[in-house]
Amino acid sequence: MSTPTPAEEWTAHRREQQRQALGEDLCRFRELIAALGSGERSGRALSRAEAGEALDHLLDGRCTDAQAGAFLIAHRLRRPEPQELAGMLDSYRRRGPRLGAIPRRVVSFGVPFDGRVRSAPLLPLLALLLAAAGAGVVLHGGGPMPVKYGLSTAETLAALDLDLRDLPWSEAQQLFAQEGLALMHQPRHFPEAERLVPIREQIGKRPPIATLELLWSCYEGPCLQVSGFVHAPTEGLAWEALSTAGQDDVLMVKGGEGGVELPNSRVAIASHRRGGVPERLILRARNHGLGAPEVALETLPQWRSQAHQALRATGPLARGLLWNGGFLLWRAGIRDNLEEGLLLAERLLRDGAVENLHRQLIARLALRPGGRPPAEPPPDPAGC
Per residue in 48-74, pLDDT tens? 999 999 999 999 999 999 999 999 999
Angle, CA of 87, 90 and 92, to the nearest 5°:
115
Predicted confidence (pLDDT) at residue 341 exceeds the cutoff of 90: yes
- Tens digits of residue pLDDT in 99-121: 999 999 999 999 999 999 999 99
Query: Can you tell me the mean pLDDT for 90-103?
Result: 97
The mean per-residue pLDDT over the stretch 141-162 comes to 97
> Shortest CA distance to 188 belongs to which of 209, 172, 207, 202?
172
Q: Where are the domain boundaries for CATH 3.40.1030.10 in the chain?
A: 106-366
Tell me which residue of 359, 363, 383, 360 sits closest to 373, measured CA to CA: 363
161, 150 in Cβ contact below 8 A?
A: no
* Residue 377 pLDDT: 60
Phi first, then psi, for residue 158 (nearest 5°) are -60, -35
Q: Is 136 left (phi over 0), alpha (psi -120 to 50) or beta?
A: beta
What pLDDT does 276 receive?
Answer: 85
Q: Check if the beta carbon of residue 50 is closer than 8 Å to that of residue 33.
A: no
Q: What is the pLDDT of residues 159-185, one digit of tens each?
A: 999 999 999 999 999 999 999 999 999
Q: What is the pLDDT of residues 218-275, one digit of tens each?
A: 999 999 999 999 888 889 899 999 999 999 999 999 999 999 999 999 999 999 999 8
User: What is the pTM for the complete model shown?
Assistant: 0.92
pLDDT-above-90 percentage for the chain: 85
136/309 Cα distance (integer angstroms) = 23
Residue 231: what pLDDT? 85
Looking at CATH, the fold of the domain delimited by 106-366 is given as Pyrimidine Nucleoside Phosphorylase; Chain A, domain 2 (3.40.1030)
Q: What is the location of CATH 1.20.970 in the chain?
A: 18-78
User: Residues with Cβ < 8 Å from 152, sequence gap 6 or more?
Assistant: 113, 115, 141, 142, 143, 144, 145
- Which CATH number is associated with domain 18-78? 1.20.970
pLDDT of 370 above 80:
no
Per-residue pLDDT averaged across 348-353, rounded?
98
- In this prediction, residue 55 carries a pLDDT of 98
Helices (H), 225-291: 232-244
Within 10 angstroms of residue 179's Cβ, the number of other Cβ atoms is: 16
Which residue type is seen at 237? L
The confidence band for 383, taking pLDDT boundaries of 50, 70 and 90, is: very low
The mean of the pLDDT values for the chain is: 93
DSSP, collapsed to helix, strand or coil, labels residue 137 as: strand
Average pLDDT over residues 36-45: 86
Does residue 8 have a pLDDT over 70?
no
With vertex at residue 370, the alpha carbon angle to CA 364 and CA 371, rounded to the nearest 5 degrees, is: 30
Residue 307 has pLDDT above 90, yes or no: yes
Q: What is the dihedral of CA 308, 183, 132, 130, to 10 degrees?
A: 90
Calpha distance 378→85 (Å, rounded): 43
Phi, psi angle pair for 343, to nearest 5°: -65, -45
Burial letters 327-350, b for 16+ CB under 10 A, else e? bbbbbbebbeebeebbebbbebbe
pLDDT over 90 at 209, yes or no: yes
Q: pLDDT-based confidence at 381, cuts 50/70/90?
A: very low
> How many CB atoms lie under 10 A from the CB of residue 202?
13
Range scoring the smallest mean pLDDT among 312-316, 331-335, 371-375? 371-375
Q: Is the pLDDT of residue 380 over 70?
A: no
pLDDT band at residue 13, thresholds of 50, 70 and 90?
low
Q: Is 105 helix (H, G, I), strand (E, B) or coil?
A: coil
